[in-house]
A = this chain, B = another copy of it.
Amino acid sequence: MSAEYKPEEAENMEDTLIDRLARRIPSVGRLGTPPHGAVRLGIGDDAAILRRSSKAEWVVSCDSSLEGVHFRHDSHPPESIGYKSLARAVSDLAAMGARPRYFLLALALPAVRTGRWLDRFASGMAKAARELNILLIGGDTSKTRNVMISITVLGEVAPGRAITRSGARPGDLIYVSGQLGGAQLGLKLILRGLAHRRSLRRFLQPHLYPKLRLALGQSLATRRIATAMMDISDGLSTDLARLCNASGVGARIWSAKIPKVKIPAVLAHLDLNALKLALHGGEDYGLLFTVRPKSAKLLRRLPPKIPTTCIGKITRQKQIVLFRDDTAETALPSRGWDPFRDR
C-alpha cells in the first residue's frame, strides 16, 4: 500500500476474466480493436454503443443478479430482487447518459418459486420498469436450484453524446452524486440480522431499492458537461481506479469531501466506519464523473436538484492518492466489490 500503487494494478479479477474472454473470442472494443460496422464502442466500458440513425445511437449492456451472490433468499424480499436486478442493469445506461428504452430478461428459478414468489418478483420489477421508463421486449426462463437473473438493457442517446470512462484529463474535477455508503450500511444491517427492526427499515432502502440518477446522467451527456462518467456499482475505490485506468490518468481525492452516509446513533455500537463504507461499499449506483474546471459552474444550473459533490482532481501521475484531513496522504487501493476475491 505504498505510493507506488498504480491504478493499472487495480483491475480486479472480474475485469481480468472479461479481458481473457475478449482475447480469445472475436470481439470489438478491447485491445485496440478498431470499431466494427455499427459498433462505435465495444467491451470495456459500462455499455457498448451501436450506431442507429443520424438522430440516435443504441447503448447496450448486460448484468446478472444471482442468489447467494447478490441477494439471499432468506433475507431479501422478492419485490426487492425484481426491482434491484433491473435497476442494477439500467444503471449502466445512466452511467453513459443514455435514456432507458427496452430490456430482455433471462430468468432461471426453482419450480417452487414459480407461484407467489414470482408474482412478487414481477411486481418489484414492474415498479422499477415504470420508474425507469423501460419496457420488457423479450425473455427466456429456465429451471434451476438458485434464482438467476440476467438482464440486457437497451437505451438511446444522441449520436456522439454518450459519456465513456475514458475522457478524463489531468486537471478535471472529480464529482460524485448523492451519498456514498448507504447501500453497504443497509446490507450490513441485513447481514447482522437487524432487518426486521421497524426503526431501522429506512436504512435498508438504499440497499433494497437503489435510486438511479438518470436525469443527472442525461443532463451531463446532452449538455456535454462531463468528460468521463461511470456508475459506482462496486465501490468508489474500485470504480475510480477503473475510470482512471480507462482514461490513462490518476487522481487525488480528499476524504473530508466525500459525501458519506450518516450512521445513526442507534447503530453506534456496530462500530461502522462511514469513510470505509463510502470508499469501498458498492451498490450505491450513484454517478462518478469528471468535469473541466471551467464547466463546473454549469452543474449548478442543472434542472432537477440532485446533489453533486466535488471530491478531488484528476492528475497526470497514474496513481490514486487519498488525502486524510488535508494532511496525511496514502495510496488508495481498490477494496470495492470483486466477486472473485474472498473477503
Residues of B within 8 A of A144 (CB): 66, 68-69, 146, 148
- Chain B: CB-nearest residue to A65: B142
State whether the Cβ of A50 lies closer than 8 Å to any Cβ in chain B: yes
Closest Cβ of chain B: how far from A96's Cβ, in Å?
A: 12
Residues of B within 8 A of A61 (CB): 104, 138
State whether the Cβ of A17 lies closer than 8 Å to any Cβ in chain B: yes
State whether the Cβ of A223 lies closer than 8 Å to any Cβ in chain B: no
Number of interface residues of A (CB under 8 A): 70
Residues of B within 8 A of A114 (CB): 13, 17, 340
Residues of B within 8 A of A339 (CB): 141-143
Closest Cβ of chain B: how far from A195's Cβ, in Å?
A: 23
Given contacts A62-B152, A108-B148, 11 further A-B contacts (CB under 8 A): A21-B105, A21-B136, A37-B101, A42-B135, A42-B138, A43-B137, A48-B138, A62-B106, A62-B139, A69-B143, A144-B146
Residues of B within 8 A of A134 (CB): 26
A66-B144, A106-B63, A140-B62 as given contacts; A122 in contact with B21, CB under 8 Å: yes
- Chain B: CB-nearest residue to A63: B140
Which residues in window 135-186 of A have CB below 8 A to B? 135-146, 148, 150, 152, 154
Main SS at interface, chain A: mixed
Out of B21, B37, B148, name the residue touching A148 (CB < 8 Å): B148
Binary contact track A111-127/B, C-beta < 8 Å → 1, others 0: 10010001100110110
Contact B21 A139 (CB under 8 A): yes
Residues of B within 8 A of A274 (CB): none
Contact A340 B143 (CB under 8 A): yes
Contact B17 A137 (CB under 8 A): no
Which residues in window 10-61 of A have CB below 8 A to B? 13-14, 17-18, 20-22, 24-29, 36-39, 42-43, 47-48, 50, 52-53, 58, 60-61
- Chain B: CB-nearest residue to A86: B25
Residues of B within 8 A of A104 (CB): 48, 60-62, 152
Residues of B within 8 A of A36 (CB): 135
Closest Cβ of chain B: how far from A167's Cβ, in Å?
A: 19
Out of B43, B69, B141, B148, name the residue touching A136 (CB < 8 Å): B43
Contact A42 B137 (CB under 8 A): yes
A141-B339, A143-B340 as given contacts; A136 in contact with B106, CB under 8 Å: no
Instruction: Give CA–CA (A73, B146) in the complex, Å.
Output: 17
Contact B108 A28 (CB under 8 A): no
Residues of B within 8 A of A42 (CB): 135-138
- Chain B: CB-nearest residue to A24: B122
A25-B126, A53-B53, A137-B27 as given contacts; A150 in contact with B118, CB under 8 Å: no
Closest Cβ of chain B: how far from A54's Cβ, in Å?
A: 9
Residues of B within 8 A of A27 (CB): 135-137
Instruction: Give CA–CA (A37, B102) in the complex, Å.
Output: 10
Residues of B within 8 A of A108 (CB): 64, 66, 69, 148
